Amino acid sequence: MFFENFVFKVRGKRESSPHKRDFKKRLQEGKNQFNIQQTNKRIYLDVAKLLLREGKYLDMAVFHIHQAIEKHLKGYLISKGWVVKKIHDLESPITEAMKFDATFQKFLGLGRKLTAFYYGERYPPRPATSYSEKEVREMLEEAEKLVKKLKEETHQK
């Protein structure tokens, strides 16, 4: 049922089609795409860990941490009835999540740091931010706590 609600929230309305077979086919295609997205969001933290272990491309490790949090946060908020927004700012969705659980506030600092990094890397001429291996490791540890909490809240493995 979660996925069906997700589809309708994204589209903003319920589909009423006399062609149930077509709808079922589209729904199955959507579920397949949703499962791919679920797999992809799990991979981001693993990639960040690999990059950190190698001690190379720390900026890409931070990027993958950002992506993992963004995907999990949006999934959590959608499960709460949030309408999908195409944003890369993490502070805003964390603030939204705080409406359901005030303990998300402890992750605001991480969200701000990752958002500043993301915009600096993706939207020049903002200055790019670089982090030490220790800082990236700390961000990863905090991100893992946030992702774990989000998974627990949405009953994911």
For the cut 90, the answer to whether the pLDDT of residue 51 exceeds it is yes
Using only C-alpha atoms, what is the Rg of the chain?
Answer: 17
Q: Delimit the domains of the chain by residue range.
A: 2-8+20-153
List pLDDT tens digits, range 4-14: 444 444 444 55
Nearest-angstrom CA–CA distance, 77 and 84: 8
CATH no. for 2-8+20-153: 1.20.120.330
Between CA 101 and CA 29 the distance in angstroms is: 33
Residue 119 Cα distances to 13, 108, 112, 136, angstroms: 33, 16, 11, 17
Amino acid, res. 157: K
- The phi and psi torsions of 74 (rounded to 5 degrees) equal -65, -40
Assign 52 a pLDDT band (cuts: 50, 70, 90).
very high
Average pLDDT over residues 28-54: 72
To 5 degrees, how large is the angle CA 133–CA 138–CA 142? Answer: 145
Which DSSP helix (H) or strand (E) runs through 61? helix 58-79
Q: Tens of pLDDT along 132-141?
A: 999 999 999 9
